[in-house]
Structure 1
Amino acid sequence: MYPARALRVILEPNLSNAQHTTICIKPSNNFQGANIYVERDGQLHLLASPQKDISRKTASFQYELFSNQSATGPDLQKMALVEAMCHPCNNMELLMAICSSDFVVRGSIQNVTHDSENHISQVDVNVQQVYRQKNRIFQQDKLTGEWRGTIKTLLQCKVKKGTGDFLFTGNEHFGEAWLGCAPRFKDFSAVYQRAREKGANPCEFHFD
């Protein structure tokens, strides 16, 4: 609930001692806005002022903390993010992705749309098999019985519509699916079977 003047939120770990940490804040859809400040050395620095209307009695938002040990400065952080999200996964990265991703699904690309204003591409997926998902991003249509979902990625990755089956992996951020490794399913199957024969698979993946 809104207090009389302000709401102070202390995030852990302590950001004042973390030199390479990024925090992302996303207000909920029904949140009308507030002034957001970060406190450094006893001083308040204005970060964002979404809207002037702060008449709502509840403040609702999500936040995520990211460690940026390999980059310093906004430009380098952006370059590192683009490189990490857009480069093709090698075999080991693919094998690790099926073990640690928030979602792993097999499906085909129905459509790809590009949002140049927000620098985001959206991939609409027809899902054949849901192997794992953290939350209900991929859902079954009650009328058709088909499973569908939407995955986002950066516009700079230049994702295009392709034919055939893919294995989509990735992580959730603020309740949205973001693309990680996405090989063709037959290529993934070959990589996994070779690794399993050598005992080099980091986790068991059941195709059924």
Structure 2
Amino acid sequence: MYPTGALIVNLRPNTFLPSRRLTLCIKPLRDSSGANIYLEKTGELKLLVRDGDRGLGQVRCFDFDQGGLFVEATPQQDISRRTTGFQYELTSRRVGSDLHALSAPCRPCSDAEVLLAVCTSDFVVRGSIQDVTHELEQQESAIHLHVSRLYRQKSRVFQPAPEGSGWRGRITTLLECGVRPGHGEFLFTGHMHFGEARLGCAPRFKDFQRMYRDAEETGLNPCEMGAE
């Protein structure tokens, strides 16, 4: 018989920087089964992953100070082997960066969030949406982009387009955000999670230009970049 109890998993960084917010993200393995995973703090539990969820493989992120992980085996009627597994990332972000992605991932970013995302994101590109495909099992949408200008990328998410003009690549977001193909150019920002590019802020490019000019005139730009 396999254990029927629970484990508390506490993850700790090697170093701590008070100026940065620590974020913990977990991604259950697609064949994970046999346990519920909770966020635990001072005895209170918040369900993150239910055993048998359709959304296995979906990334869940939360602030490090919200608690640790509580992994509880679920009752089974047989002795067949079930294995619970997940990947995790413990990352540091500057205070205020990527906050919208944790609290309300489908909410449009404020001007301040967009400008900060431009400075702190793993990728920043200008481009258009060519297609959107939905992955119901992971409860995610894959956004296929044609990129006209590449400002920054830490991984080779965007590759030169075969036709020789610009770049192509894909980024992912939650299915519930309802992303659809549309006309016009956007500024796409985001971070790498578990080897995938995850969408952060994505204003229309003309709106970003307005935000950037307004911040430049008032001296409130957190960093400089070409807004043309």
Q: 1:103 to 1:23 in 2, by over 3 A?
A: closer
Q: 1:135-194 CA distances to partner (integer Å, 9 max, x unpaired)?
A: 1111113x4224101010001111111100000011110111111110110110011011
When normalised by structure 2's length, the TM-score is: 0.60
When normalised by structure 1's length, the TM-score is: 0.66
The residue type paired with residue 13 of structure 1 is P
- 1:137-152 equivalences in 2 (<5 Å): 137-141=157-161, 143-145=162-164, 146-152=166-172
The residue type paired with residue 144 of structure 1 is E
Q: 1:21 to 1:140 in 2, by over 3 A?
A: closer
- 1:113-192 equivalences in 2 (<5 Å): 113-141=133-161, 143-145=162-164, 146-192=166-212
CA RMSD of superposed structures (Å) = 3.7
Supply the distance in 2 between the matched residues of 1:140 and 1:50 (Cα, whole angstroms). 39
The residue type paired with residue 196 of structure 1 is E
Tell whether the 8 Å contact from 2:212 to 2:227 is kept in structure 1 after alignment: no
Structure 2: runs of 5 or more not aligned: 1-8, 15-21, 38-70, 75-81, 93-99
Structure 1: runs of 5 or more not aligned: 1-8, 15-19, 39-43, 52-60, 68-79
**1:63 pairs with 88, 93, 106, which one?**
88
Percent identical among aligned pairs is 51
Say which SS state the counterpart of residue 86 (structure 1) adopts: coil
Higher strand share: 2
The residue type paired with residue 93 of structure 1 is E
Following TM superposition, the consecutive aligned residue runs of length 4 or more in structure 1 with deviations greater than 6 angstroms are: none
Say which SS state the counterpart of residue 225 (structure 2) adopts: coil
**2:106 pairs with 75, 79, 86, which one?**
86
Tell whether the 8 Å contact from 1:26 to 1:174 is kept in structure 2 after alignment: no
